[in-house]
Amino acid sequence: MNPPINLEELCFQTQKVVKEAADFIKGHSNKVGKEKIEFKSLNSLVSFVDKGAEEILVAGLSKLLPDSSFLVEEGTVERSSSDYEWLVDPLDGTTNFLHSIPPYAVSVGLNYKGSPIMGVVHEVNLNECFYAWKDGGAWLDGKSIKVSDTNDLKESLLATGFPYYDFSGLKPYLETLEYFMLNTRGLRRHGAAAIDLVYVACGRYEAYYEYSLQPYDISAGAFIVQEAGGIATDYEGGDNHVFSGQVIAGNPAIHQAVLEVVKGSFYS
């Protein structure tokens, strides 16, 4: 069901709010001392920059859709019930940011009655904005983007994310790494799921996979991949990738090849 709003216009308004948060983050790059870093859980870091960016986003997005609800990473607003729900990661790649290592990004997805209808991912260091709205295609700074047309796994460059707190799937994950090391052009690990996803959307990577992610890590980037002609699923090939925490995203041919390997390792 299509929402009763102008999604294209809302998407461009959302980009302005996201850009404000990205500028706030960039203004604090290389300036956060160790004494200002908090530990949420094992290898999960947060600073006043994450929280400040989230406050900017919640305030700005609330004005765009006054009756909307939020699923946010840093808990600056409580989750409620609404037809429209924003899924917000104010600083995807916090550990990168705190170590002064690119990339890191602002990621904002929007659901309508539980289905994705828009996504915006702004990479702070290169100042690149990736975005999409339902049935509107996928875009990078005003230029249409598509997933790559590579159909041979051996000619593919993949991205992944290493487990850093949930090691329950470590053994099958290492099996997939071995296979892809031997059967692809290579693997990359940026440490920012939203970036990996939009790099698939614009054809820089053929595919990306990771587990133990949060909905706000996946929502915007996976939607942009789909609008760019790609496929995003969970590890079993289903459509519960946003809320299962498992995602495989890629162009149609390479997604299928990666799915077969990952599914075989995790569920055989």
d(CA 198, CA 219): 11
**Mean pLDDT, residues 142-168 taken together:** 96
d(CA 192, CA 110): 19
Whether the per-residue pLDDT at 38 is higher than 70: the answer is: no
Whether the per-residue pLDDT at 41 is higher than 60: the answer is: no
User: What is the CA angle 116-81-244, rounded to 5?
Assistant: 50
pLDDT bucket at 165, cuts 50 / 70 / 90: confident
The pLDDT tens digits of the residues spanning 59-102 come to: 999 999 999 999 998 888 878 889 999 999 999 999 999 899 99
In sequence order, what are the residues at sequence separation of 6 or more whose Cβ sits closer than 8 angstroms to the Cβ of residue 192? 92, 93, 96, 103, 104, 105
**Residue 43: predicted pLDDT:** 41
What is the radius of gyration, based on Cα positions, of the chain? 18
Whether the per-residue pLDDT at 158 is higher than 80: the answer is: yes
| Residue pair 173/187 in contact by the 8 Å Cβ criterion | no
d(CA 246, CA 176): 14
**Mean pLDDT, residues 23-29 taken together:** 92
Specify the CATH class of 153-267 in words.
alpha beta
| Residue pair 185/155 in contact by the 8 Å Cβ criterion | yes
**Mean pLDDT, residues 261-268 taken together:** 96
d(CA 133, CA 125): 24
pLDDT bucket at 251, cuts 50 / 70 / 90: very high
Whether the per-residue pLDDT at 47 is higher than 80: the answer is: no
Q: CATH number of the domain at 7-145, out of 3.40.50.150, 3.40.1690.10, 3.90.105.10, 3.30.540.10?
A: 3.30.540.10
Residue 43, phi then psi, degrees to nearest 5: 60, 25
Whether the per-residue pLDDT at 157 is higher than 50: the answer is: yes
Q: What is the dihedral of CA 160, 90, 251, 84, to 10 degrees?
A: 140
Number of H helices and number of E strands within the chain?
8, 14
Choice between 83 and 47, residue whose per-residue pLDDT is larger: 83
CA 19 remoteness from chain centre:
16
| Residue percentage of the chain with pLDDT more than 90 | 84
**Residue 36: predicted pLDDT:** 62
Instruction: Give the Cβ contact number of residue 166 at 10 Å.
Output: 12
**Residue 37: predicted pLDDT:** 57
Which tokens belong to 44? 């999960």
Domain with CATH 3.30.540.10 in the chain: 7-145
In sequence order, what are the residues at sequence separation of 6 or more whose Cβ sits closer than 8 angstroms to the Cβ of residue 32? 47, 48, 49, 97, 98
d(CA 115, CA 12): 20
Residues in the chain: 268
Domain with CATH 3.40.190.80 in the chain: 153-267
CA 162 remoteness from chain centre:
15
pLDDT bucket at 44, cuts 50 / 70 / 90: very low
Which tokens belong to 227? 């609008």
**Residue 32: predicted pLDDT:** 66
Whether the per-residue pLDDT at 160 is higher than 60: the answer is: yes
Ramachandran bin of 237, using left for φ above 0, alpha for ψ from -120 to 50, beta for the remaining angles: left
Please report where in the chains the tokens 């001392």 appear, as a residue.
Answer: 33
